[in-house]
A = this chain, B = another copy of it.
Amino acid sequence: MSQRLTLAIDAMSGDRGPSVVVPAVVELLRDSADVELALVGHPGDIETHLATVPSGERSRIRVVPASEVVTMDEPPAEALRRKRDSSMRVAINLVKSGEARACVSAGNTGALMATARFVLKTLPGVDRPAILSAIPSADGHTHMLDLGANSSATARQLCEFAVMGAVVAHDVHGLAQPRVGLLNIGTEEIKGNDVLRQAHQWLRSSTLNYTGFVEGDQILSGDVDVVVTDGFTGNVALKTIEGVARTLAGIAREEFRRSPANRLMALVASPMLRRLAARVDPRRYNGATLVGLNGVVVKSHGGADSVAFANAVRTAMLEARKGVPTQISELLQAQDFGTEAT
């Protein structure tokens, strides 16, 4: 019997819980014969949705009971302190105990980060974990972090984020020498603040393929594979990208329906417009990774449908197979970043 890869899934998480989670994972099980899943949550709720799952896939699903659910607006500290039997916490516990190699949740990001950090701890040498996502760019993906785990970052933390981003870009997206850029408001050496200039110096003498400062318009340009920034700026940039895409899509839809003539033109061009929409479909890049932890934890968008949720699970599967946390530890040990005076 081959080595099986077990993933823990917080089945109660997200806006629609098991009704989205179950269809998503069934498809994944069909494609990946060596994967098995632990679905964590209210057994009754989960079983209802498992009723129609074919036996081949059903045999690789185990239901792990958890009596509580962390709500989307629950303060992280409270979720951590009070909900010890939440589906989120139990799923993370399975990673800690080694019963699962990764976990996926579409729950409250702050609670997921706080709980994962408490249960799994950060990797040796990592000061702070970060949130990373792959965003489709001009030709491929850009990996951006931190997307909001921390609201500021020291130079050393930025350097650690650079290592984490390079590992994910290498392991999950197969880039041999991921180009790493540091987000700034200009590309000249003198731009930015002391923290950025210090991180720039350290990254230049690292073993990473560091290309220097990049600006906001280079996040999606394909100039770099990894964009490193603090959690405030990264969060604003990510949400700005989502907002622009949504606004432009809204304007396009409005134009396509403006008049009978436009509706006809949109109908004629629909095969092309549909393909275009598929290419920029945000569901394709669902799944943010909580990097820097002693374990693989992937966060799906709360509003994810089953296509999007399946992509988040696929990301977790890849990171677990490649052993991303170990890779991060090793690459970090090969660096000689300083620590700033504070």
Contacts and interface: CB of A to CB of B under 8 A. Distances in A.
Interface of A: 137-138, 148, 151-152, 183, 185, 191-193, 215-221, 229, 231-233, 235-248, 250-252, 255-256, 258, 261-262, 265-266, 268-269, 271-272, 275-276, 279-280
Contact of A217 (B216, B231, B240, B279): B240
A185 B243 contact: no
A207 B242 CA distance: 32
Contacts of A221: 243, 246-247
A241 B243 CA distance: 9
Nearest to A247: B220
Contacts of A229: 236
Copies in the complex: 2
Tell me whether chain A's interface is mostly helix, strand or loop, or mixed: helix
Given A185-B232, A236-B183, A265 B262 contact: no
Given A151-B185, A280-B251, A243 B216 contact: yes
A272 B268 contact: no
Given A151-B185, A244-B245, A268-B269, A236 B239 contact: no
Nearest to A235: B185
B235 A236 contact: no
A279 B262 CA distance: 15
B215 A239 contact: yes
A-B pairs with lowest CB-CB distance, top 9: A216-B239, A217-B243, A216-B240, A185-B235, A265-B269, A269-B269, A216-B236, A217-B239, A244-B244
Contacts of A276: 251-252, 255
23 contacts: A138-B250, A185-B236, A192-B232, A215-B239, A216-B235, A216-B240, A216-B241, A216-B242, A217-B239, A217-B246, A219-B240, A219-B243, A233-B233, A236-B237, A240-B244, A244-B248, A251-B276, A251-B279, A255-B276, A255-B279, A261-B272, A262-B272, A266-B272
Contacts of A183: 236
A55 to B, nearest CB: 42
Most buried by B among A192, A217, A255: A217
Most buried by B among A148, A233, A250: A233
Contacts of A268: 265, 268-269
A216 B148 CA distance: 12
A217 B242 contact: yes
Contacts of A275: 255
Contacts of A232: 185, 192-193, 233
B236 A215 contact: yes
Contacts of A242: 216-217
